[in-house]
Structure 1
Amino acid sequence: VRRYFRYHREFVEGNTLYDTLERMKKIVEKAGVDPKDRSVVLPAREAAEDARRRKNDGKGCKGVFCGAAIEIFLDSDKTVIVTGKNSSLLYAESAAILNAAKIIANIPDEVDVISPNVIQSIIQLKNLMRLSSTSLDVKEILNALAASAVSDEKARKCIDALDKLKDCEMHTTHLINEGNEKTLNQIGLNLTTDARLPFPDETFAPNYFI
């Protein structure tokens, strides 16, 4: 199934032919497998739709609503799927990573683990550099965690929890930028994506390819 999503992404990026994607689709169908059965696919899509519904609460960014989901292991036989939504502050992938780390570290969702001063400093720097987006990507959120961990034990616990994300499954609804993908791979996540393009879509329901 991960290979099927990879071929679809390569097709979206113009790196493989439609005939190749169709052949892969037939292989998946012959095997009796539905890509939607991948545990993190539907939760990621549901997170994107929830972001759309909560746009008045600050979810989504510039009319684009993205979702990400990670399946984490809490013990040998219990898994939990954690989601993240994009906003003007965080990429969906960044939100999912932060939420997963907090759950593994047993830190309540409402507790802030990153210093607001650190976040503000990063945003100011991005504005100064005239970057197109001030949303914090995965590497930036990890750097913010590291900076906060100097004086906050909760942030330190979140950093320690990142090691437990290795070999976990992750899915995103939108095409992942190169920087986020590199960092997620370094963490060791098994990543797939619907590879939707980041165009404003608040006026119509998204059409997923499967």
Structure 2
Amino acid sequence: MKIGFSAEKYIEEQSKYIRERISHASGERLYLEFGGKLVHDKHAARVLPGFDENAKVKLLQRLKDEAEIIICIYAGDITTSKTRHDFGITYDLEVLRLIDNFRRYDLQINSVVVTRYEDAPAVNMFINKLERRGIRTYKHFFTKGYPTDVDTIVSDEGYGANSYIEVTKPLVVVTGPGGGSGKLATCLSQLYHDYRRGIRANYAKFETFPIWNLPLKHPVNIAYEAATADLKDVNQIDSYHLEAYGVPAVNYNRDMEVFPVVRRIIEKITGEALYQSPTDMGVNRAGFGITDDEVCREAACQEIIRRYLIAKVDYKKGKISESSLERSELLMKEVGMEVEDRPVVLPAREYAEQKRECDSRYENVVVMAMEMPDGKIITGRSSRRMVAAAAVLLNSIKYLAGLPDGMLLITKQVFDAMQKMKDEVLRSDRSSLTCEEVLIALTVSGTQNPAAEYAARKLAELRGCKAHCTAILSDQDEQVLQSLGIDVTCDPEYVTTNLYTN
């Protein structure tokens, strides 16, 4: 596990720069749009080894007395059940998780805004759920006149048609579960309403990717494109910044396309020319935290492969378009990588093929391979006892504990009792134990077997390990592996031809 990024240096640089931006802001309030994930930014942690996935929220904690948070979610992401891959949960559930996490850090939640609101049952149910739990919720609609008619946008028909979000703190953080959540529109709408009320306010953007002072084709920046392939984000040289300052900087197409409009809107609202380029709007010091460029390049290439494998599964499930899948593949080719360059892919596939060739009973065998912290590849296969993911977990912790591969951590009696419960009481379609069930059985066995208890303590050492399965995991198994911090990918194949149980 090589380190290529200094989390301490990054937090120091970023907090210093934000404070400067707040102190230099000409106004009583700063709306700070947070791009990317504010909590558990696992993408940043994967492409910048050493990055603290909670660095942003820890930074905000230093400013908690001055800050409050608005969370935006696009109504369309609710109706389509858009998913956050890191946790396997939909964006509406991610909003609930964000609220809980912010509260743990003692940060004030102002409200949730449903942007580009549409009168749909799922959207209304989400709003009702929040309001009945005491969370203020606002509906913002598509802005009339956007993007060309600035006079209409900055009027009572445009931003004025949105409800004003009552805020009191000098720093208002505007975030969301992912890209396209409507954060920018919410910031500008608030800016308009503040000036109508005689309150001087300003706008800035907290951004991590793309990293403006890395080369355009640096793998870390290309990994950002891979992460947003469904949004069709493309990195570009910021021509406005180059023209204004003679310094090349990297930005991306959505910011570049919208900048002329945003600049005109801000000027019309405030009467000032605040920014010369999209890069000017950003607060991004991530590039200064890189301590080993080669380590970060390698990690980013692995992330690009990972994103392609995820895209193949999402396409199989009907979640993304063919163009998004093709874009993911092109980005992987751009950095000169193949799927097989992910170290756990070939061992999983080769072991599965080996089992099929030696015995026809293994025709539908599923195999998972996992890379240990020392580089050793451990495999596990599906059986009538357990799924492949559960098998590889047991084999991996036995390896880490230095126990013999043939040692049984879970007794036959425990297996039989649990499978009988699934078959005869719960009437489950499958008797093979899932990851969660095997971990429960391991815990129970640990009360009688010291080896099982010792091995179970090694589960924490699997955090950050890569794994690959030759078939699509069930949602339950995928969630357990993600909770353990295992970076897992799959081949786009279902275990059976059944439609419902898959």
- Asked if 1:64 corresponds to 2:360, the answer is no
* Match of residue 384 from structure 2: 88
Measured after TM superposition, the shift of residue 53 of structure 1 is 3.4
* Match of residue 206 from structure 1: none
Distance 1:151 1:54 in 2: 37
Measured after TM superposition, the shift of residue 191 of structure 1 is 0.9
Distance 2:405 2:350 in 1: 19
SS of match in other structure, 1:174: coil
Larger-gyration structure (1/2):
2
Whichever residue aligns with residue 317 of structure 2, its letter is: E
Instruction: State the Cα deviation string for residues 89-112 of structure 1 (Å, max 9, x = none).
Output: 111111111100100011101111
SS of match in other structure, 2:470: strand
Q: Which runs of 5+ in 1 are unaligned?
A: 201-210
Distance 1:199 1:123 in 2: 20
Distance 1:90 1:111 in 2: 16
* Match of residue 421 from structure 2: 125
* Match of residue 473 from structure 2: 176
SS of match in other structure, 1:22: helix
1:189 corresponds to which of 481, 486, 490: 486
Whose RCO is larger (CA < 8 A, sep 6+)? Answer: 1
- Asked if 1:99 corresponds to 2:395, the answer is yes
Change (3 A) 1:91 1:148: same
- Asked if 1:14 corresponds to 2:292, the answer is no
Contact residue 47 and residue 84 of structure 1 kept, 8 A:
no
With normalisation by structure 1, the TM-score equals 0.87
Alignment length (residue pairs): 192
Contact residue 39 and residue 71 of structure 1 kept, 8 A:
yes
Distance 1:65 1:115 in 2: 23
Change (3 A) 1:69 1:12: same
Misfit runs of 4+, over 4 Å: none
Superposition map of 1:134-149 within 5 A? 134-149=431-446
Distance 1:177 1:195 in 2: 12
Contact residue 94 and residue 141 of structure 1 kept, 8 A:
yes
Distance 1:31 1:67 in 2: 28
Instruction: State the Cα deviation string for residues 162-210 of structure 1 (Å, max 9, x = none).
Output: 000000001101010011001000111011111211137xxxxxxxxxx
Distance 2:336 2:353 in 1: 28
Contact residue 51 and residue 66 of structure 1 kept, 8 A:
no
Whichever residue aligns with residue 337 of structure 2, its letter is: V
2:349 corresponds to which of 45, 48, 69: 45
Distance 1:161 1:175 in 2: 26
Whichever residue aligns with residue 192 of structure 1, its letter is: T
1:5 corresponds to which of 309, 329, 332: 309
SS of match in other structure, 1:82: strand
Distance 1:132 1:55 in 2: 25
2:334 corresponds to which of 15, 20, 30: 30
Distance 1:97 1:3 in 2: 23
With normalisation by structure 2, the TM-score equals 0.37
Change (3 A) 1:154 1:66: same
User: What percentage of aligned pairs have identical amino acids?
Assistant: 29
